[in-house]
Structure 1
Amino acid sequence: MSSSDVPKTCKVILADTIAKNLLQEVHDTLAKIQAKDAVRPCLAAFLANDDPAAVKYAEWSKKTCEEKPLRQMQGLTITSGFTFDLRISDKETLEEAIMAANDDDSVDGIIVYYPIFPGNVQHDKYIQETVSLSKDVEGLCHKHLYNMYHNVRFLDPPANTKKSLLPCTPLAVVKILEYLSIYNPILAYGNRLFGKTICVINRSEVNGRPLAALLANDGATVYSVDLTGVQVFTRGQGIKQPRHQVHEKEGWGLEQVLPLCDVVIGGVPSDKFKVPTELIRDGAVCINFSSFRNFDGPAIKEKASIYIPSVGKVTIAVLLRNLVRLIANRTQPDQDSAKARARSDAFLEG
């Protein structure tokens, strides 16, 4: 057999392939929970910076919102897409604009494109808290983040009818791992990453740290790497802890971490950073969620078994999934029993 006949060892999967199935699930679920005469759900998007990545994210979101579902569910009328309402604001009036959207019954969900105040994380965090819990499509307000870190999956225990929301990019990575069958469906829900070792290169409060917590809460051993060092997120031996614990790995770096990992996830927001390919174990799954390419494309295809070069379109699909979940969480006293059941069952897992 010549070298040209040898099968390629790496499968490159584009985000669009994964996003299509998620978007169809979103449309199907929306059709089940909405009344027949319901208007299209409205997502109010606030842009108060000129960050090219934020502008591109807004453009992709608008396009995805306006797309029609791939199929119509039998016996159900599917609303044709979502309304994407981009609202350009300046930093000084952003808080008031968000509060007005909180009180606007025509707005179903709110997204804010960060950073608003580069270098001032606390001010951005203040803006996150301005968004109403009932409209926080990004899952960044305190209640959602508290539940995520403490592995609490519902807003209303013990009734457990209203699900917590998860931040969009971390949840997008989770959905990609589910698509790739890294999650083991044979295991109990909440333990399906047991036995997996994962590296997340980024520990930002918006993406990297929540992602490490999510993966560890689902049973993985997660090495979280940033400029300050390495932390390991784990539920302990035999995943017996109810939620993840965090421990410092003094003196560790990528040299110690990467050879151990089944999955390597890059999220460094710099065009100068590249994950050292030579340290990655043969056959690892590599996922890039940064707006910059954290992996050397040609080299990683010789090392990884699966490579996901970007996650953007999956993130937008998850954004709309969260929007539908917000709608499902609302109390609807006059709805019929079928709609009530559909709301309770919306996106039952994850």
Structure 2
Amino acid sequence: MSAPTASVPSSCKVVLAKNVSNGLLKEVQEGVKTLDKPPHLVGFLANNDPAALMYAQWTQKTCEENGFKYSLREVSRDDIEGAILSANTDDEVDGVIVYYPIFNNRQDQYLQQIVDVSKDVEGLSHRYIFNMYQNIRFLDPETQRQKSILPCTPLATVKILEYLNIYNTVLPSGNRLFGHTICVVNRSEVVGRPLAALLANDGACVYSVDITGVQKFTRGEGLKKHRHDIHEMEGATLKDVAPLCDVVISGVPGEKYKFDTSLLREGAVCVNFSSEKNFGPEVKEKASIFVPSIGKVTIVCLLRNLLRLNQNRRLDDIKPAAATERPGTIDA
């Protein structure tokens, strides 16, 4: 009788968010030591979303463990505008985060714009969003000392790809994703679209997929353009583009959605940024690397942004640039 066949170990490496966040935390902790007092982050909760409350609690825990001060202020929808404006002028408040959605319409976008740019840790105000899409990496292009703030979840995804060595450090900054083809499943204005833009501005060919179709983000053949262009791919679907990609990033906020593993290219890197599990366990049979969640990295990026805002404010000889600027060329 022959011996039973031993199970073949998976060739997929599962990378946990805490492994990535630990390195970033060291950077943040060193930065805090250079400040005169702990940075104070205020979070505004004006909804009954359990996920928002959990995010706030995680943020508070991470702040307190790493030398930051955190205050959660629960306010009504009617009072949120005044609360933000008050925090803008409060010298004891160094950063502001608002937990969305509140109104779940254009009023939320208005609230994003009234957070003072010097306290906007989420990078959602017009100046930061403009810079991100235009691939402008500094608030002061001439002196290049004040780095622009990037939205936390897209930035966390970038930091994970850097940790995984998807970014090629042999290439100059700004081109380090050249040669990579990436699929982003989600085109929300808060995460999916900014992420596609960031990755394309760093040199990748990015297929952005949502229920309305597929868009291609690219800086052109040979990266001839400074910033990305967007091309509508009429009639294309996830099935057409996913097999072309060596990295697949998914963030569909629905428990019923599951990425079809059969579409994966052999050895692809897979990252899930949704609170839901977009990839089933079978992803390990085809992917080379799988990152099941990124939440811990997102919170560290939030603290990193808060630290940067504090450092920017210490440069008294520099005034933030106007909302419309000529394109720059330096690293983010």
Shared fold per TM-score greater than 0.5: yes
Name the residue aligned to 2:325: none
Gaps of 5+ in 2: 318-329
Q: Distance in 2 between matches of 1:333 and 1:270?
A: 46
Q: Distance in 2 between matches of 1:42 and 1:249?
A: 45
| Cα pair distance change 1:6/1:237, threshold 3 Å | same
**Kept in 1: contact 2:137–2:331 (CA 8 A):** no
1:307 matched to 2:290? The reply is yes
| Cα pair distance change 1:331/1:223, threshold 3 Å | same
1:151 matched to 2:149? The reply is no
Q: Distance in 1 between matches of 2:222 and 2:4?
A: 46
Give the aligned residue type for 1:245. D
Name the residue aligned to 1:20: 22
Count the aligned residue pairs.
318
Give the aligned residue type for 2:237. G
Q: How far did 1:11 drift?
A: 0.7
**Can you list the C-alpha shifts for 1:98-131, whole angstroms capped at 9, x where unaligned?**
000000011110000111112x1x1110000010
1:84 matched to 2:70? The reply is yes
Name the residue aligned to 1:140: 124
Residue in structure 2 matching 1:60, options 49, 58, 61: 58
Name the residue aligned to 2:322: none
Q: How far did 1:6 drift?
A: 4.0
Q: How far did 1:53 drift?
A: 1.3
1:273 matched to 2:257? The reply is yes
Residue in structure 2 matching 1:290, options 274, 280, 285: 274
Runs of 4+ in 1 over 4 A off after TM superposition: none
Q: How far did 1:160 drift?
A: 1.3
Question: Residue 102 of structure 2 aligns to a residue in which SS?
Answer: coil
Name the residue aligned to 1:39: 37
**Can you list the C-alpha shifts for 1:137-173, whole angstroms capped at 9, x where unaligned?**
0000000000000000001121211110000000000
Q: Distance in 2 between matches of 1:204 and 1:332?
A: 34
Alignment of 1:167-246 (within 5 A): 167-246=151-230
Q: How far did 1:2 drift?
A: 8.0
Give the aligned residue type for 2:53. V
Q: Distance in 2 between matches of 1:333 and 1:245?
A: 36
Name the residue aligned to 1:166: 150
If the length of structure 2 is used for normalisation, what is the TM-score? 0.93
Question: Residue 93 of structure 1 aligns to a residue in which SS?
Answer: helix
Q: Distance in 2 between matches of 1:39 and 1:109?
A: 14
Q: Which 10-residue stretch deviates more, 239-248 or 156-165?
A: 156-165
Question: Residue 141 of structure 2 aligns to a residue in which SS?
Answer: coil
**Can you list the C-alpha shifts for 1:171-208, whole angstroms capped at 9, x where unaligned?**
00000000000000000000000000000000011000
Q: How far did 1:24 drift?
A: 1.0
Q: Distance in 1 between matches of 2:237 and 2:275?
A: 23
Q: How far did 1:29 drift?
A: 2.0
Gaps of 5+ in 1: 69-80, 335-347
| Cα pair distance change 1:2/1:139, threshold 3 Å | farther
Q: CA RMSD in A?
A: 1.5
Name the residue aligned to 1:102: 88
**Can you list the C-alpha shifts for 1:203-243, whole angstroms capped at 9, x where unaligned?**
01100000000000000000000010000000000011000
Name the residue aligned to 2:320: none
Q: Distance in 2 between matches of 1:220 and 1:2?
A: 46
Name the residue aligned to 1:75: none
Q: Distance in 2 between matches of 1:252 and 1:52?
A: 36
**Kept in 1: contact 2:32–2:38 (CA 8 A):** no
Question: Residue 118 of structure 2 aligns to a residue in which SS?
Answer: helix
| Cα pair distance change 1:333/1:248, threshold 3 Å | closer
Q: How far did 1:303 drift?
A: 1.0
Question: Residue 285 of structure 2 aligns to a residue in which SS?
Answer: coil
| Cα pair distance change 1:5/1:112, threshold 3 Å | same
Give the aligned residue type for 2:87. A
Question: Residue 207 of structure 2 aligns to a residue in which SS?
Answer: strand
Q: Distance in 1 between matches of 2:255 and 2:8?
A: 33
Q: How far did 1:55 drift?
A: 1.0
